[in-house]
């Protein structure tokens, strides 16, 4: 679980803070050119804001 959260944080998708918790960041903070993110969006039919 911890490693998964680190990967998502590295891609800019989530932010984790002590006493605040873990939350999904706004799309403008995501690394939209990340290969995994592109693949996930294609696989799920996502891609538009």
Q: Which residues contact 34 (CB under 8 A, 6 or more apart)?
A: 11
Q: What is the pLDDT of residue 48?
A: 59
User: What separation in angstroms does the CA of 17 have from each of 5, 9, 11, 34, 46?
Assistant: 12, 11, 16, 23, 27
The tens-digit pLDDT sequence of the chain (49 residues) is: 889 999 999 888 999 888 989 999 999 988 889 999 899 889 998 765 5
Give, as one character, the DSSP assignment of residue 25.
P
Instruction: Give the pLDDT of residue 41.
Output: 87
Predicted pLDDT of residue 18: 87
Count H helices, E strands: the chain?
2, 2
- List the structure tokens of 35: 């290969």
pTM of this structure: 0.68
| Local structure of residue 29 (DSSP, 8 states) | G
């Amino acid at each position: 679980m911890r490693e998964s959260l680190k990967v998502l944080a590295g891609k800019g998708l989530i932010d984790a803070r002590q006493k605040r918790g873990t939350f999904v960041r706004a799309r403008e903070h995501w690394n939209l050119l990340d290969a995994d993110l592109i693949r996930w969006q294609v696989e799920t039919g996502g891609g538009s804001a």
